[in-house]
Amino acid sequence: VLEVSGDVLKPGSDYVFTASLLNSVGSGFYRIRKEQINVGPNGGSCKIEPATGFALKTEFLASCQGFEDQDGIDRLYFKLKGADGEIAFPGTSMSEMEFPVLDVGTFVVEVTIKDQKGASVTLETNEVTVTQEDVESQDVLLRCNELLDEAKARNDLTTVLLNLAAVSRALERVKDE
């Protein structure tokens, strides 16, 4: 296995690797093979905005821009990561993902960007902090019900997963109060 730091090889450039195998008397053979390196998408960045918000209320948007790849960008895979775990979402051709609700905590979004030939790059967005507004438990329960109804109406798996995760954590918080 030959491993080279990612910043050494340039996408689309040709490289020649040589290897020599010698037996105990010093004779051997050489094989020269020309390879083109498929490096994952590069040159871009990802972020999530806004940097702060309120639980079950603020909508967050993770977005990526500026990535280039000679093979073309195929899919982006978003994974929401927080102290209580992570939620991975199906790949998408869209360069952004909306997180309509998050519960209290600090989160980052890990994004894996793959090209048409399978090379990829993975990076994390900036951190977002979600806090709880001063609201009554009854208001939290009403908002949870609204979120479940919204997820059902949109018929969208991503929204359902996000809303269920946020509602579950919010209900646990209410129960502990």
Element of type H or E holding 75: strand 73-82
Quote the CA–CA distance of 134 and 30 in Å, as a whole number: 72
Q: pLDDT tens for residues 14-50?
A: 677 666 666 666 666 555 566 667 778 989 999 999 9
- Residue 51 tokens read as 């940097």
102 neighbors 166 (Cβ within 8 angstroms) = yes
Q: pLDDT tens for residues 105-134?
A: 999 999 999 999 888 899 999 999 999 887
- Strand 45-49 and strand 96-99: the pairing is unpaired
Quote the CA–CA distance of 83 and 97 in Å, as a whole number: 20
The predicted model scores a pTM of 0.70
Sign of CA dihedral 110, 115, 116, 117: negative
